Amino acid sequence: MRIPAPLLTAAAERTRANAEEWAQAQERAAASKSKLVQQLAFTPDRRIVQAPAIRDALLAAQHRKCAFCESALVAVPADVEWFRPSSSAVDSSGFSSLPHYAWLTMEWNNLHISCPNCNRSKGRRFPVDGPRCPVGTQWPDLAAGEHALLLDPFVDDPDSHLLFTDDGLVSTDTSEGRATIDCFSLNRAELVEARREAVARAIQEWEIGAVDDAVAPEQPYAGARRHAIRRLAEQQSDKPASVVDAGKHVVVSGVRMRKVTDAQQFAAVAAESQAAMAQSDYSLDDPTANPTYFATTKYIHAIEVRNWKAVRHVRVDVPGSTTERAPWLTFLGENGAAKSSLLQGVALALLGQRSRDRLQLRPDAFIRNGARSAEVKVWLTGIAEPCVLTARRGDTRFGGSTDPKVLVLGYGATRLLPGASHGPTQPSVPATDDIADVDNLFDPFVPMADANGWLLSLDDKQFEAAARALRVLLGLEGTDALLRFRSAGEVRCRTLGAVVPLARMSDGYQSVVAAACDMMAVLLSRWGDMAAAEGIVLLDELGAHLHPRWRMRIVESLRAVFPRVQFLVTTHDPLCLRGLGEGEVALVERRQDAAATVVVRQDLPPIAGLRADQLLTSELFGLRSTVDPQLEAAFDEYYRLLALRRPSQAQGRRIDELKDQLDGLRTMGDTTRERLVFEAADRWLATRQEREEPASVRQDNDAAVAMLAEVWASESPERFAKRSR
């Protein structure tokens, strides 16, 4: 296949040369322990590989399907991705190699299109059996330079490694097949069901003699279809000879598929059941569990809470991201809406028994008034059973899942810097175990890590990994660097020609650096680099202690530093919504009923492109004005009276008075057309304010349009103008 033109441009050649130079420099720096070079990260220009010519060529070569799971990409967003990562390639033990495989970012053979689920599951994973290839190794020498464990659908024969059953499962008896199934989560529930349905359709096509349709390579899940037809061809002798022969000779990459019996199918199902159990049956408290933990990405995809503090019952579905980056979820709402309570419940469910017991919390304090017990369930991708937390009134400890499955960190709204005022002594590293740190989420007097002391305590490799992350967070460029002066007991930041100790930076900078170091202290216990590190961070009041400029870029900054870490955060600050994608905001509200029921709304309008004042007056914040609280009070009274079906004479006069008052402030429209529209909007807002049940955004929009049409049809603008004088 011809190499697409964008990969032959001068920009691509520059990127290719810079990438190879950076990778070679990193390899030399690792040997010579050159600090500055190791702090420099490599960020390839994604715009080149996302060019339409490259996307179109890959889509055609892949029959418009995901390269790995064969899901159709017609209605699913998909990106061109690197089969071998652009840097920080992670092996099956969690070790990451920083320079691998930067020099291949502009190579046509290293580009694939994958669906969001496969892309998100893979991350920076690229396990090999034995050493990685020397830096700079090109095709076709890669195969000889290393034994890759992930199957490349353009190079390898998947049918030699993977076995699909009629139930939609995929199994294997090779190390390459196992690594591929785990890395791309090829047995995720929705994918298994889609393959099962595809196999059923293929069998129907086979039964009517449409063999070509049944095994066509452009069909979604063609691999599963081929395996099913091959089995039928071997089993059924009553079909016409030509049909049976066609089924028997389904060929992939020039290699005939092996014959698979019913007994082998049964064994495959049993093997995958055992593999799925192994993926769930591990504990991060056990150091030998590392290979299972690193095999596949684990993010929160659903939360269910019952009788937890003020929450009677809510379920939250956490959307997956459409890129390699981890998904976020932001709980938005007023003070007292139970946002913090949700974070605390999730934290305790994820911790595991040992870490929960260490916190010495009383279950009674977390059970809703009037209830005898509480329960929190958190579902993780790649694990069938949820992580469960239970609390029973009168018990002295929480119950639930005993084994921690993910690294988890949690921070409350008060994040104090370490200092003498917080206690008699301060540790130089976070006072936590190496897989969890949620103390501050439950105790505001637990300070952040002493960033200076922690950075001084790291070995050279860990320090450079932390420094690379902090360079991104602090916006350091060029020769800017973090330097350790152990004799002086200081870490200093060299920027803009000055060398400033971290301890002398502004409180805002210190707060951000301390929180980042606190997170890295746990993440570095399992991962070698922040570009590859995965875990869950629960952060209350995201914008606390930050200048407005920092708040506007905090999401993008954290995503750049921790691209594979999933954040669940709370806020009531519109500036902190910058950088969030579609579906990444959930509105937490308390209904105006006797029980003050907590509800979580996820059907919200898009936020991209809205100004801060527009966000404040949107569905997310519900303000009618960002200018004057008295105007807000006048609107509240106006809408309350307007919602009355039969207002008294006094109430009618008050409605007219309020209308005149608001009209004087030019909030009722200037032209007849505007006034007609505003009156319709006011009637709708008045009825909406009276509802107890929150409607979806679509329902609200439909109702508003219907009411406007009704008003418009009921009287002409001329009649309205005459009546409103």
Give the percent of the chain with pLDDT over 90. 39
Mean pLDDT comparison of 189-198, 209-218, 279-288, highest-scoring range: 189-198
- Domain co-membership, 86 together with 158: yes
pLDDT at position 254: 33
Residue 655 has pLDDT above 60, yes or no: yes
- Domain co-membership, 454 together with 336: yes
Structure tokens at 34: 């050159």
288 located within any domain: no
Ramachandran category for residue 126: left, alpha or beta (phi over 0 → left; psi -120 to 50 → alpha): beta
Structure tokens at 4: 């697409």
Residue 603 has pLDDT above 90, yes or no: no
Place 258 in a pLDDT band, splitting at 50, 70 and 90: very low
pLDDT at position 667: 54
pLDDT at position 360: 93
Residue 194 has pLDDT above 90, yes or no: yes
623 located within any domain: no
pLDDT at position 100: 93
Place 688 in a pLDDT band, splitting at 50, 70 and 90: low
569 located within any domain: yes
- Identify the residue with better confidence: 710 or 229: 229
pLDDT at position 53: 94
Span 174-192, average pLDDT? 91
What is the domain extent for residue 49? Answer: 5-270
Residue 87 CA, chain-centre distance (Å), reads 20
- Of 590, 616, 642, the one marking the end of a domain is 616
Place 430 in a pLDDT band, splitting at 50, 70 and 90: very low
CA separation for the pair 158, 152 (Å, rounded):
8
Asked which of 123-132, 552-561, 595-604, 690-699 is least confident by mean pLDDT, the reply is 690-699
Asked which of 126-140, 149-163, 518-532, 679-693 is least confident by mean pLDDT, the reply is 679-693
Residue 20 has pLDDT above 50, yes or no: yes
- Domain co-membership, 324 together with 413: yes
Mean pLDDT comparison of 129-138, 256-265, 632-641, 645-654, highest-scoring range: 129-138
pLDDT at position 131: 94
- Of 238, 270, 302, the one marking the end of a domain is 270
pLDDT at position 641: 86
Asked which of 47-56, 637-646, 650-659 is least confident by mean pLDDT, the reply is 637-646
287 located within any domain: no
276 located within any domain: no
Cβ atoms of 338 and 590 closer than 8 Å: yes
- Of 255, 270, 285, the one marking the end of a domain is 270
Span 439-451, average pLDDT? 90
285 located within any domain: no
717 located within any domain: yes
Other Cβ atoms closer than 10 A to 502: 21
- Domain co-membership, 165 together with 303: no
284 located within any domain: no
Q: What is the DSSP pairing of strand 387-392 with strand 373-380?
A: antiparallel
- Identify the residue with better confidence: 485 or 252: 485
pLDDT at position 578: 85
Span 457-464, average pLDDT? 89
- For the chain, what is the domain count? 3
CA separation for the pair 283, 263 (Å, rounded):
33
Asked which of 79-83, 167-171, 642-646, 681-685 is least confident by mean pLDDT, the reply is 681-685
- Domain co-membership, 335 together with 484: yes
- Domain co-membership, 585 together with 635: no
- Identify the residue with better confidence: 630 or 428: 630
- Domain co-membership, 698 together with 606: no
Tell me: the pLDDT tens digits for 496-525? Answer: 888 889 888 877 778 888 889 999 999 988
Structure tokens at 594: 């006797």
Structure tokens at 52: 């339409």
Place 227 in a pLDDT band, splitting at 50, 70 and 90: confident
pLDDT at position 671: 59
- Domain co-membership, 230 together with 262: yes
Span 314-339, average pLDDT? 88
Torsion angles phi and psi, residue 668, rounded to 5: -110, 10
Beta-ladder partners of 111: 82
Tell me: the pLDDT tens digits for 23-62? Answer: 888 888 776 655 555 667 788 888 999 999 999 999 999 9
CA separation for the pair 274, 175 (Å, rounded):
15
- Domain co-membership, 601 together with 646: no
- Domain co-membership, 92 together with 218: yes
Residue 143 has pLDDT above 50, yes or no: yes
- Domain co-membership, 327 together with 247: no
Show Cβ contacts of residue 132 under 8 Å, excluding neighbours closer than 6 positions.
89, 97, 100, 145, 146
Q: What is the CATH number of the domain that holds 582?
A: 3.40.50.300
Place 577 in a pLDDT band, splitting at 50, 70 and 90: confident
Q: If DSSP codes are grouped into helix, strand and coil, which group holds residue 352?
A: coil
pLDDT at position 88: 92
- Domain co-membership, 467 together with 488: yes
- Identify the residue with better confidence: 633 or 668: 633
Tell me: the pLDDT tens digits for 67-121? Answer: 999 999 986 667 899 999 999 999 988 889 999 999 999 999 999 999 989 999 9
pLDDT at position 303: 96
